[in-house]
Amino acid sequence: MLYKGYNQQAVAIVDAFSTGHFLGPAFRSRGVPVIHIRNRNAACESQIATFHSHDYNAYFDFTGDVIEIADKLSSWGVRHVVAGIESGSDVADLLSNAINSPTANTPGFDKARRDKRVMHQLLYKAGVSIPWQQHLDINGDVIWETEGTEPNSVVVKPAASAGTDNVRICHTPIETEIAIKKCLEQTNVYGQKNIGVVVQEYLEGEEYMVNTVSVNGIHVVIEVWRSVKKLINSNPVYDYQILEDPTNPKIKKIIDYVAEVLTVLGVKWGPGHTEVIVTSRGPLLLETATRMPGGVDPSLGLFTIGRSLIDEVVEVYLAPHIVVERGQIRPLRKAAMGISLISPCSGVLTRPLDLRPIMELPSFHGVRIPVQVGDYISQTIDLFTKPGGLYLCHEDQNQLNRDYEAVREWENIEFSNAVRGV
């Protein structure tokens, strides 16, 4: 039986998969009924295993009729609608406004928060600094571009997707043409036909991921991660991330820039995940999304900042004043590193991976490897072919660096021995 108390109004979560699957039990543990909505216009089969039906009181399928689902949510007394993953972000926006939720983002901006083309055009018109870019429609025709000359190196990516799906770095016009053609021929990670392409200036500089929560237009920074990628077959592959100190003046400039971006895009409530490159011209946006990042370990935040990102998101809707009272940033207590595992080979996993060498590292915090014996493992070339990841946490950054090297050595030996070609 659910607790009856301070908040009996339900919450709906759209596509509660991957990191989003933590939200259901988090709301439920606070006595709040939770409804699940699946966006049937997006294919999420690869993430279905992370969904736990017992966390929800009711389930609805969204196929495009906003009014139909809004009426069902109203009958359940739903007060808030939250996106679980990227495929749920625009649907959550539409439904929030349809039920007149007090925590809805600014209406009319749902496309700008999902389609990178609309996103950057809106920011450009508002005077926010963005990279040089060119936007193409579904036929590959240019429909918009910023001022200036096209740079020698560009990044080609879908207008709406997630992760490193179909992201290509190109150094010649021929490479760019091939990447555009390939992108338009394929569907995105959610099985949706790519509706267009963004050709964006390849930015030299450090990449950062900023995880935020917003309370009535006040943007609170929970974590700032510096991302390091490496190129594998011309594909940018995540190598590792370092949790940064938000009091660092350099990080403060990033935080201010992200707040400006979120404000222009009409983000007023809920989680945000923003990626920027810090260049000689200052921070420049890659993209932002009204959702949590993938690969969250809720327990890591308890050690590094004394708070879990999941809890902060939940409290935005249930106790927003508390989130604001904690301040705009969360001071760093311990250093942390997230490592993306990179398989050097392709084949079938013939035996369980021996995790003991990495679990015995001084800074080991947690590991997630979803592959099992008999599964086919691809050589890692993007975010979606990585076989897992782990987090390190320690008072000493030097210890993290040493343990990172140990992980890479273990990884190369262990995958080469455990994976056999077919």
266-301 residue pLDDT tens: 999 999 999 999 999 999 999 999 999 988 898 999
DSSP string, 139-176: TS-EEEE-SSPPPSSEEEEESS--TTTT-EEESSHHHH
Residue position matching structure tokens 């077959």? 233
As annotated, the residues of the chain forming the CATH 3.30.470.20 domain(s) are 206-420
Strand ranges, E, within 341-420: 347-349, 364-368, 376-377, 389-394, 419-420
Average pLDDT over residues 328-350: 96
As annotated, the residues of the chain forming the CATH 3.30.1490 domain(s) are 132-201
pTM: 0.90
Which CATH class for the 206-420 domain?
Answer: alpha beta
**Options 3.30.1490, 3.30.1660, 3.20.20, 1.20.1280; which CATH number does 132-201 get?**
3.30.1490
Q: Is the per-residue pLDDT at 60 higher than 90?
A: yes
Amino acid at 302: L
In sequence order, the β-bridge partners of residue 389 are 340, 368
Buried b / exposed e across 228-251, counting CB within 10 Å, b at 16+? ebeebeebbbbebbbbbebeeeeb
Separation CA 116–CA 103 (nearest Å): 23
- Least confident among 51-60, 131-140, 182-191, 327-336: 182-191
Separation CA 11–CA 35 (nearest Å): 6
Per-residue pLDDT of 22-55, as tens digits, reads 999 999 999 999 999 999 987 766 666 777 888 9
> Do 93 and 104 touch, CB atoms closer than 8 A?
yes
Q: Is the per-residue pLDDT at 5 higher than 60?
A: no
Separation CA 47–CA 16 (nearest Å): 9
Q: Is the per-residue pLDDT at 160 higher than 80?
A: no
Per-residue pLDDT of 167-177, as tens digits, reads 888 999 999 99
Q: Is the per-residue pLDDT at 1 higher than 50?
A: no
In 3D space, the residue among 188, 210, 214 whose CA is nearest the CA of residue 87 turns out to be 188
Separation CA 104–CA 416 (nearest Å): 49
Give the count of beta carbons closer than 10 Å to the beta carbon of residue 327: 11
pLDDT band for position 125 (50/70/90)?
A: very high
Average pLDDT over residues 209-224: 98
As annotated, the residues of the chain forming the CATH 3.40.50.20 domain(s) are 10-98
Fold of 10-98: Rossmann fold (3.40.50)
The token duo for 3 is 């607790």
Query: In percent, how much of the chain has pLDDT > 90?
Result: 77
Rounded (5°) CA angle 314-315-319: 140
- Least confident among 122-126, 171-175, 404-408: 171-175
Average pLDDT over residues 224-232: 91
